[in-house]
Amino acid sequence: MTLALIKNANVYAPEPLGTQHLLIGGNRILWMGNESLELPVPLREVSTIIDAAGLRTMPGLIDGHVHVTGGGGEAGFRTRVPPVPLSRFTTAGITTVVGLLGTDDVARGPTELLATLYALREEGLNAYGYAGGYHVPPATLTGSVRSDLVFVEALIGIGEVAISDHRSSQPTCDELLRIASECHLAGVMTGKAGILHLHLGDGPRGLELVREALEKSELPARVFNPTHVNRRRVLFDEAVELARRGSTVDITAFPVAADEDAWPASEALERYLASGAPPDRVTVSSDAGGCLPCFDADGRVSHMDVGSAGALLATLREALARGLALEAVLPAVTSNPAKLLRLTRKGTVAVGHDADLLVLDANGAVHTLLVRGEIHIRDGAPVLRGTFE
Ligand SMILES: [Zn+2]
């Protein structure tokens, strides 16, 4: 068990707390204060002392949309993306991932997803997952998504169920409502997030189905959690309106070309925050390990790329370069996803919370990373790696 003292930390909790000293032990933040702390000699010999003077310390990033198994498979079996190894996350400042299945929920399934999540947990990362995948009825472990969520600890929601996309099951409003209700009820029973994470495609229907579902049912808006909302500018405007109604919307940090009808994540976040919509109802995720295919009019892949875990930190840096304050943009990758996912001890730097901590250097690169008190990155280099790295 690691005992660590982080001295002279300039803490963004995400709100700025100024210089603090943090005592870490038993996976948690045991103490934090602005008076310098000296450990008694016997403890000093068994602890790690980190001087974070001049560096910014914040919660580890929470990436709410990761294809941990590797996604893809859209242009033949050779296009199945391999699993994402541990250090790909930790070197990108990520301490918690939510893994999911996408287009391919037939050659891959919930058992492979869970095994990959548990492997990441064994390697020290915080890892949760969504039941199901793109399609309806969703792929399940136990026969229903409701019992998957009730009985499988690591599964906290359903997704990414695809709508407004040629790869979706073209679900009807009633089908979507049935899945959302299972999700909501499981959330009520367990205290888990119980959200329906929705993949939005390029289709012109956009969020129409979600609006219809809200009008036709008693389900709270928080259950519906659309992602990729910055892929079309009109869709993004719809998402901002949905956030005003109570949903949390997720921006994807994918690469955007200058002539594309999409917003890069940093610009989307700036536009969201300027819109006056609730600042705690927006998140940014990486889509790491996912395939980023482009299709021609017949639905054939013309070219593809793979989502990168580094995209979250890159988005933070870009947002800062656009003149936004760190405390304004940090919630979208820390406290906002923690609140949505009901991970109550994560996403903020506070006494009693999990010691998931990211220390950034002056260039915005990872200097130190702790996951539940264990040091994964020290002085910019990984000290722990995945089993096959
Ligand atoms: Zn997707």
Q: What is the DSSP string of 139-191?
A: P-SSSSHHHHHHH-TTEEEEEEEEESSTTS----HHHHHHHHHHHHHHHHHH-
DSSP code, position 125: -
Per-residue pLDDT tens over the stretch 270-290 = 999 999 999 999 999 999 988
Report whether 90 contacts 384 (CB < 8 A). yes
Per-residue pLDDT tens over the stretch 347-384 = 999 999 999 999 999 999 999 999 999 999 999 999 99
For the ranges 41-50, 240-249, 299-308, which has the lowest average pLDDT? 299-308
Angle formed by the axes of helices 233-245 and 208-216, nearest 10°: 20
What is the three-class DSSP state of 248? coil
pLDDT given at position 116: 97
pLDDT given at position 303: 72
pLDDT given at position 9: 97
Q: How far does the centroid of ligand 1 lie from the alpha carbon of residue 353, in Å?
A: 31
Q: How far does the centroid of ligand 1 lie from the alpha carbon of residue 33, in Å?
A: 42
Token pair, residue 79, equals: 């296009």
Q: What is the mean pLDDT of residues 230-238?
A: 98
Q: How far does the centroid of ligand 1 lie from the alpha carbon of residue 130, in Å?
A: 13
What is the three-class DSSP state of 94? strand
Query: 294 or 37: whose pLDDT is higher?
Result: 37
Sign of CA dihedral 312, 343, 100, 231: negative
pLDDT-based confidence at 330, cuts 50/70/90? very high
Report whether 368 contacts 56 (CB < 8 A). no
**Which one is catalytic: 104, 105, 287, 356?**
287
**Distance separating alpha carbons of residues 152 and 147, to the nearest angstrom:** 8
Per-residue pLDDT tens over the stretch 43-86 = 888 899 999 999 999 999 999 999 999 988 888 898 888 899 99
Active site annotation includes 202: no
Flag whether pLDDT at 1 surpasses 90.
Answer: no
Give start and end residues of each alpha helix (H) in the chain. Answer: 41-44, 86-90, 110-122, 145-151, 173-190, 208-216, 233-245, 265-274, 311-321, 326-329, 335-340
Per-residue pLDDT tens over the stretch 93-143 = 999 999 999 988 888 999 999 999 999 999 999 999 999 999 999 999 999
Report the share of the chain in percent with pLDDT over 70: 99
Report whether 72 contacts 304 (CB < 8 A). yes
Report whether 368 contacts 377 (CB < 8 A). yes
pLDDT-based confidence at 313, cuts 50/70/90? very high
Flag whether pLDDT at 304 surpasses 80.
Answer: no
Q: What is the mean pLDDT of residues 212-233?
A: 98
Flag whether pLDDT at 316 surpasses 70.
Answer: yes
**pLDDT averaged over the chain?**
95
pLDDT given at position 7: 96
Token pair, residue 25, equals: 């032990």
Token pair, residue 318, equals: 């870009």
Q: How far does the centroid of ligand 1 lie from the alpha carbon of residue 102, in Å?
A: 6
